[in-house]
């Protein structure tokens, strides 16, 4: 386990280093001019770090929600959590343009409400089955999408363009403050999820079982929903909807380290950071000086990979 | 001024490409439904036949219109401006919600926006001709509108040359050639005046100013060499620092932007675009306070006001030549 | 000791259990018998405080169950429920170790002692060498033994077992009951077991409770309860009773 952890951190270091070296502008290793320093420190580094935080956020939220809901297909994007956050951000975008802090706050609120709504819909007296859960997620997701589309009619053309680009998943608007905020959220969220990891190991097998063996199911559920909403809210407010990270990363991690959430959660955080930083490096450099939305790249890598994993099992 | 052959098929003006494919999907669905159930029997139901003539639109289609065109609908804000400019504004019976210029346009009935016009409202207005700027919608439009005896004229001017051609065509359609010819002469004279002072005619003598045109601040959009503004800027005595980007309106890497060092930044002014992106904080343009704003409508709607913007920017770039 | 005093349980309007009273003394094994739908599983859930009581009271060592925290209950009472499937690749050892949940702090990893408990429970259930096998690759019977091992690994003093022998072969059925009874005798633990096998009940129960329609139809030692009338009354089946030549306990044979 230590070896795998070590390798994962090494890989993160390599990907981060490569991301710092690569970009639309070529930077020398030493003796940077003032302008080149500005490119590195004001533009490239914040973006890379934000990408790492966003990747870690989405991956731990995916890992946590999958165990909590006993469904390896649970993912913030599929469950409507991302769209809830997107709607929250959009409301902030439309009504509180000047107050930047309202974006993550409303994103968090939106993510939380969407999660609870999906959970309530999926839960019946007989308990919760996977089909119901996925169906509820799809319903909430499409409902929220249509609300978002309706709201776009309130936007003028210029705002609409920035919004649609953001909605596709875009890290180009990274700021130093945004990095602090996302970093804080992902640290708090990961700690909460880690603290519930052992309880999640029981929940993963069965909610009733977990209750029988002393897990305070209601409290665990609240903490995991809360932590997931926190990290997804922060990630979506900063970068829009970056899909597939929450689905693919915990899957891959489980293939390597097994199902123990005390390993899956932290390893997913690191692997998620690697995945998004890697994808964003492609987004930044593939058609430079133009840019791709990072969400398109993660989906382009994630979708075929996921199909492969599905068929393999 | 430099001439270039008109491009076919036409590109969308920037305003239109903002909307995204979703709107197209919605519009297409609506139109398909409408065309399936609409318009079987009422092609030309008036008792006395109206004398007709045939004109050719920008797609090269032969369009049959009445000799006297009295009621038209415009589905794009720049076409609305151009129709007013050739003196036919009083014949507009329907415009889009985007059409806010000139002032009289606001009082005309709205038929939805450019990407999702309401077919029922258009038909109810009984226009002779509908002016469309979006070639992608033409198939769906034609079926329904022409089944209702309404002609569809597709035109999508981009650069200043295109605008002139468009004004001339409109003058012929509305039989207001006097107004359109005068306008074209006036615009040509103004463009030449500017070009003589600052543009290509002058630039062999001196280096044009390096300019960055910022279309939106976050995310950072600018113009590439496929935008009509690339040439427009050249006429004003500037050179786009992103002229080697091979597209019309690219989202630009901030790293690249930061290394461009423009001497001047022009903001296409809108709510979200009132100051330069932070990537430019060390650029000569920001340090020397050479950031100028142009109303986004002027830049994004190819029409006579493009020349207003040209004069304004030429003065901003080379104030010494306009004393 | 678990004292059950005149409890009733209902789902909405429908009463499932009514007026049930008994005592589970340390070291004893009680077997619950009854036809399908008699309320056996409901009684187990009530004993574990998973279902609210509509009336009556359950006391664990003299303290009302409803006043005790979930963790404290789990420390004392372990359940083997009818089995569960998971879609995640959980290993046998991980599964059994999860039974030690209430003994660790939330952050922590299992201690040496936890692992020792788990290993011993696995050995007891004839599962040594299964540690790294995946739960969803096991047979039904193997999985059932793992579920029992998890309950044993908790070290709880009260075991509630809901049809633990349903998927087991003959040898493992006997092993399961012997194991439970040995636990009860040696550690002063006690157990409530649901089964449909009257002969296993006769062999291993200290006390048998027969349920019909949520009420106690008969209660007492196997010899007292396993009578032809009681069995006819509860299951509607005619039986022959004689003595098991090996153990001297009652033997039940159905007459078809």
What's the mean per-residue pLDDT of chain A?
89
**A95-99, B78-82, C41-45, C176-180: lowest mean pLDDT where?**
A95-99
- What is the model's pLDDT at position C111? 86
Which chain A residues have a beta carbon less than 8 Å from that of C135?
Answer: 205
Superfamily of domain A42-312: ABC transporter involved in vitamin B12 uptake, BtuC (1.10.3470.10)
Superfamily of domain B205-322: Nitrogenase molybdenum iron protein domain (3.40.50.1980)
Residue B20's pLDDT band, with cuts at 50, 70 and 90, is very low
pLDDT, one tens digit per residue, over A178-187 is: 899 999 999 9
- What is the model's pLDDT at position A21? 92
- For A35, the closest of B251, B258, B273 (CB atoms) is B258
CA nearest to B244 within chain A: A289
The answer for C62, left when phi > 0, alpha when psi is -120 to 50, beta otherwise, is: left
pLDDT, one tens digit per residue, over A123-167 is: 876 666 667 887 888 899 999 999 988 888 777 666 777 777 788
Question: HEC states along chain A?
Answer: CHHHHHHHHHHHHHHHHHHHHCCCCCCCCCCCCHHHHHHHHHHHHHHHHHHHHHHHHHHHHHHHHHHHCCCCCCCCCCCCHHHHHHHHHHHHHHHCCCCCCHHHHHHHHHHHHHHHHHHHHHEECCEECHHHHHHHHHHHHHHHHHHHHHHHCCCCHHHHHHHHHHHCCCCCCCCHHHHHHHHHHHHHHHHHHHHCHHHHHHHHHCHHHHHHCCCCHHHHHHHHHHHHHHHHHHHHHHHCCCCCHHHHHHHHHHHHHCCCHHHHHHHHHHHHHHHHHHHHHHHHHCCCCECCCHHHHHHHHHHHHHHHHHHHC
DSSP state of B77: H
Whether B246 has a pLDDT exceeding 80, the answer reads yes
- For B255, the closest of A39, A161, A165 (CB atoms) is A39
Write out the DSSP string of B258-291: HHH--SEEEEEEBTTBSS--GGGTTSHHHHTT-E
**Contacts A–C by Cβ distance under 8 A:** 83
Q: Do A25 and B19 touch (CB under 8 A)?
A: no
Residue A306's pLDDT band, with cuts at 50, 70 and 90, is confident
CA nearest to B277 within chain A: A173
The more confident residue out of C11 and A260 is A260
Domain of residue C96 covers: 2-254
**Contacts A–B by Cβ distance under 8 A:** 92
Mean pLDDT score, A276-288: 93
Listed by start position, the domains of chain A span 42-312
Chains B and C touch, using 3 or more CB pairs below 8 Å: no
Residue B7's pLDDT band, with cuts at 50, 70 and 90, is very low
The predicted complex's ipTM stands at: 0.85
Which chain C residues have a beta carbon less than 8 Å from that of A206?
Answer: 84, 86
- What is the domain count for chain C? 1
**A13-17, A84-88, A98-102, C119-123: lowest mean pLDDT where?**
A98-102
Question: Is the Cβ–Cβ distance between A249 and A62 less than 8 Å?
Answer: yes
CA nearest to C96 within chain A: A202
CA nearest to B251 within chain A: A290
Query: What are phi and psi for residue C221, nearest 5 degrees?
Result: -70, 160
% of chain C at pLDDT higher than 90: 52
Whether B203 has a pLDDT exceeding 80, the answer reads no
Q: Do B255 and A23 touch (CB under 8 A)?
A: yes
Which chain B residues have a beta carbon less than 8 Å from that of A24?
Answer: 253, 255-256
- For B282, the closest of A35, A170, A289 (CB atoms) is A35
Whether C114 has a pLDDT exceeding 70, the answer reads yes
pLDDT, one tens digit per residue, over C203-214 is: 889 999 999 999
Q: How far is B289 from chain A (nearest CA, A)?
A: 18
CA nearest to A165 within chain B: B219
Q: Which candidate in C70, C151, C192 is best for mutational testing of the A interface (most A CBs within 10 A)? A: C70
Residue C84's pLDDT band, with cuts at 50, 70 and 90, is low
Beta-bridge partner residues of B293: B267
Which chain C residues have a beta carbon less than 8 Å from that of A71?
Answer: 87
What's the mean per-residue pLDDT of chain B?
83
Q: Do A172 and B279 touch (CB under 8 A)?
A: no
- What is the model's pLDDT at position C83? 63
CA nearest to C44 within chain A: A212
Q: How far is C70 from chain A (nearest CA, A)?
A: 5
Q: Which candidate in A20, A35, A39, A145 is best for mutational testing of the B interface (most B CBs within 10 A)? A: A39
Q: What's the CATH number where C197 sits?
A: 3.40.50.300
- Per DSSP bridges, beta strands A127-128 and B52-56 are unpaired
Token pair, residue C93, equals 């050892």
Q: Which residues contact A201 (CB under 8 A, 6 or more apart)?
A: A67, A259, A260, A261, A262, C90, C94, C98
Among positive and negative, which fits the CA dihedral B21, B23, B26, B30? negative
C194-208 core/surface letters (b: 16 or more CB in 10 A; e: else) = bbebbbbbbbbbbbb
């Amino acid at each position: 386990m230590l070896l795998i952890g070590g390798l994962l951190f090494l890989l993160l270091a390599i990907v981060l280093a490569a991301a710092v070296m690569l970009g639309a502008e070529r930077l020398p290793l030493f003796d940077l001019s003032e302008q080149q320093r500005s490119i590195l420190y004001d533009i490239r580094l914040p973006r890379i770090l934000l990408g790492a935080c966003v990747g870690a956020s989405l991956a731990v939220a995916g890992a946590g929600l999958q165990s909590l809901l006993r469904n390896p297909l649970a993912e913030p994007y599929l469950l409507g959590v991302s769209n809830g956050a997107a709607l929250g951000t959009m409301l902030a975008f439309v009504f509180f343009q000047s107050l930047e802090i309202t974006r993550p706050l409303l994103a968090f609120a939106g993510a939380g409400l969407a999660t609870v709504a999906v959970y309530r819909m999926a839960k019946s007296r007989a308990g919760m089955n996977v089909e119901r859960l996925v169906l509820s997620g799809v319903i909430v997701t499409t409902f929220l999408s249509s609300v978002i589309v309706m709201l776009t009619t309130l936007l003028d053309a210029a705002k609409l363009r920035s919004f649609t680009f953001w909605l596709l998943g875009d890290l180009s608007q990274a700021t130093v403050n945004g990095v602090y905020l996302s970093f804080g959220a992902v640290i708090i969220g990961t700690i909460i999820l880690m603290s519930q990891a052992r309880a999640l190991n029981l929940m993963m097998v069965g909610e009733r079982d977990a209750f029988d063996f002393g897990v305070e199911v209601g409290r665990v559920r609240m903490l995991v929903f809360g932590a997931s909403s926190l990290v997804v809210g922060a990630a979506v407010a900063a970068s829009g909807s970056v899909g597939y990270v929450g689905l693919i990363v915990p899957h891959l991690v489980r293939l390597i380290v097994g199902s123990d959430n005390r390993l899956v959660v932290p390893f997913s955080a690191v692997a998620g950071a690697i995945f998004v930083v890697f994808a964003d490096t492609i987004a930044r450099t593939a058609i430079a000086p133009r840019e791709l939305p990072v969400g398109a790249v993660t989906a382009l890598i994630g979708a075929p990979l996921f199909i492969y994993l599905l068929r393999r099992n | 001024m430099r001439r270039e052959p008109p491009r076919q098929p036409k590109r969308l003006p920037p305003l239109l490409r903002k909307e995204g494919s979703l709107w197209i999907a919605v519009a297409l669905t609506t139109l398909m439904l409408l065309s399936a159930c609409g318009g079987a029997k009422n092609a030309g139901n008036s008792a006395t036949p109206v004398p007709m003539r045939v004109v050719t639109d920008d797609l090269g289609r032969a369009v049959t219109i009445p000799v006297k065109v009295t009621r038209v609908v415009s589905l794009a804000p720049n076409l609305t401006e151009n129709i007013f400019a050739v003196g036919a504004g009083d014949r507009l019976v329907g415009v889009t919600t985007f059409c806010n210029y000139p002032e009289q346009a606001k009082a005309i009935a709205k038929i939805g926006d450019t990407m999702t016009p309401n077919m029922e409202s258009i038909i109810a207005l009984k226009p002779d001709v509908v002016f469309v700027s979006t070639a992608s919608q033409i198939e769906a439009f034609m079926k329904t509108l022409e089944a209702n005896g309404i002609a569809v004229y597709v035109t999508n001017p981009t650069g200043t040359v295109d605008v002139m051609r468009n004004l001339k065509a409109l003058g012929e359609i509305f039989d207001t050639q006097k107004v359109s010819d005068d306008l074209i002469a006036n615009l040509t004279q103004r463009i030449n005046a500017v070009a003589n002072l600052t543009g290509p005619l002058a630039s062999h003598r001196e280096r044009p100013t390096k300019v960055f045109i910022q279309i939106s601040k976050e995310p950072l959009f600018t113009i590439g060499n496929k935008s009509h503004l690339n040439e427009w800027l050249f006429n004003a005595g500037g050179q786009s620092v992103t002229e080697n980007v091979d597209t019309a309106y690219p989202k630009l890497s901030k790293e690249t932007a930061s290394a461009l060092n423009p001497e001047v930044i022009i903001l296409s002014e809108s709510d979200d675009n009132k100051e330069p992106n932070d990537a430019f904080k060390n650029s000569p343009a920001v340090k020397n306070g050479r950031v100028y704003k142009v109303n986004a409508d002027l830049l994004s709607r190819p029409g006579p006001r493009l020349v207003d913007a040209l004069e304004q920017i030429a003065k901003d770039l080379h104030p010494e030549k306009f004393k | 000791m678990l004292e059950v005093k005149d409890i009733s349980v209902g789902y909405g309007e429908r009463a499932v259990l009514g007026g049930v009273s008994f005592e589970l003394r340390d070291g004893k094994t009680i077997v619950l018998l009854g036809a399908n739908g008699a309320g056996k599983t409901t009684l187990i859930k009530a004993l574990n405080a998973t279902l609210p009581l509509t009336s009556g009271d359950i006391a664990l060592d003299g303290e009302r169950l409803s006043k005790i925290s979930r963790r404290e209950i789990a420390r004392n009472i372990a359940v083997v429920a009818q089995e569960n499937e998971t879609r995640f690749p959980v290993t046998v050892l991980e599964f059994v170790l999860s039974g030690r949940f209430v003994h660790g702090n939330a952050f922590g990893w299992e201690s040496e002692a936890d692992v020792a408990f788990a290993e011993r429970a696995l050995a007891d259930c004839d599962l040594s060498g299964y540690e790294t096998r995946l739960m969803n690759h096991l047979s039904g019977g193997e999985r059932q033994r793992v579920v029992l091992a998890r309950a044993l690994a908790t070290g709880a003093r009260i075991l509630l077992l809901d049809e633990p022998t349903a998927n087991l072969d003959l040898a493992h059925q006997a092993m399961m009951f012997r194991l439970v009874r040995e636990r009860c005798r040696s550690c002063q633990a006690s157990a409530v077991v649901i089964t449909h096998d009257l002969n296993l009940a006769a062999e291993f129960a200290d006390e048998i409770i027969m349920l019909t329609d949520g009420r106690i139809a008969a209660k007492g030692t196997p010899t007292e309860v396993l009578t032809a009338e009681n069995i006819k009354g509860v299951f509607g089946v005619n039986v022959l009773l004689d003595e098991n030549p090996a153990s001297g306990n009652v033997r039940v044979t159905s007459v078809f």
